[in-house]
Chain A
Amino acid sequence: QSVLTQPPSVSAAPGQKVTISCSGSSSNIGNNYVSWYQQLPGTAPKLLIYENSKRPSGIPDRFSGSKSGTSATLGITGLQTGDEADYYCVTWDSSLSVFGGGTKLTVL
């Protein structure tokens, strides 16, 4: 059981928008940055968002991140079939890095 709660799955049609939530507490999200990762099947996770809302070089602006209080949200617009993957939120809690349980995105 992760300290960060994500929905197990979300789905949307190509071209649509989807949001993935990550809920925590004051000891983690409430006082630390949140990052988001995309993991395609059989590959290593890839950084999509860091410091709540910043995108690394090469990540399209279809991906966005936000944080409010003890929750964070990843938004993906203009969904493509290639976006089908598992998505994880990550933050710091006390003395360790904690991951959300992951959300499987299905592009219908």
Chain B
Amino acid sequence: QVQLQESGPQLMKPSETLSLTCTVSGGSITGYYWSWIRQPPGKGLEWIGYIHYSGNTNYNPSLKSRVTISVDTSKNQFSLKLSSVTAADTAAYYCARVIGDFWSGSYDYWGQGTLVTVSS
């Protein structure tokens, strides 16, 4: 059974860079696309971007200038960096596996999510 686990700081100050890592266990990161998705408290879901195990990426245009997603196949991990955070970036951050091609919109395995709060 594939499992995903997010890790990283849960409290940040404005202007800092958010860094989260998703560790994949029970399966290989190879052969798939992987995504980051976030959800502000009490609100809906927002796609941040995806990365292919080969390193190919695509980001939400609304976040593109601040987002970097990377992959480390040797550790079976992929990571998210979001720079210059503000209170608007306060959200639960989820990592997820994509079924099939990147345009499928289908995410079969999800991490439990980690709540990141941005506050001075």
Which of A2, A44, A88, A92 meets B104, CB within 8 Å?
A92
Q: Is the Cβ of B103 less than 8 Å from the Cβ of A102?
A: no
Q: Is the Cβ of A88 less than 8 Å from the Cβ of B45?
A: yes
Q: Is B82 an interface residue (CB 8 A)?
A: no
Q: Is the Cβ of A35 less than 8 Å from the Cβ of B104?
A: yes
On whether A44 and B112 interact (CB within 8 A), knowing A32-B105, A50-B104, the answer reads yes
Q: Is the Cβ of B58 less than 8 Å from the Cβ of A99?
A: no
A26-54 to B contact mask, C-beta < 8 Å, 1/0: 00000011110100000111110011000
Q: Is the Cβ of B105 less than 8 Å from the Cβ of A35?
A: yes
Residues of B within 8 A of A101 (CB): 44
With CB as the reference atom, state the residue of chain A lying closest to B110: A44
Number of residues of chain B lying within 8 A (CB) of chain A: 21
With CB as the reference atom, state the residue of chain A lying closest to B59: A96
Q: Is B32 an interface residue (CB 8 A)?
A: no
Per the bound structure, the CA–CA distance linking A24 and B61 in Å amounts to 19
Number of residues of chain A lying within 8 A (CB) of chain B: 26
Q: Is B117 an interface residue (CB 8 A)?
A: no
Per the bound structure, the CA–CA distance linking A44 and B3 in Å amounts to 13
Q: Is A98 an interface residue (CB 8 A)?
A: yes
Residues of B within 8 A of A88 (CB): 44-45
B40-60 to A contact mask, C-beta < 8 Å, 1/0: 000011110010000000101
Residue of B61, B108, B112 contacting most chain A CB atoms (<10 Å): B108
Q: Is A60 an interface residue (CB 8 A)?
A: no
Q: Is the Cβ of B45 less than 8 Å from the Cβ of A33?
A: no
Residues of A within 8 A of B107 (CB): 35, 37, 45, 47, 90
Q: Is A97 an interface residue (CB 8 A)?
A: yes
Q: Is the Cβ of A35 less than 8 Å from the Cβ of B44?
A: no
Which A residues from 75 to 108 make CB contacts under 8 A with B? 88, 90-92, 95-102
B104: min CB distance to chain A, Å: 6
Q: B residues bordering A, Cβ < 8 Å?
A: 35, 44-47, 50, 58, 60-61, 94, 99, 103-108, 110-113
3 tightest CB-CB pairs across the interface, nearest first? A50-B106, A97-B47, A44-B110
Q: A residues bordering B, Cβ < 8 Å?
A: 2, 32-35, 37, 43-47, 50-51, 56, 88, 90-92, 95-102
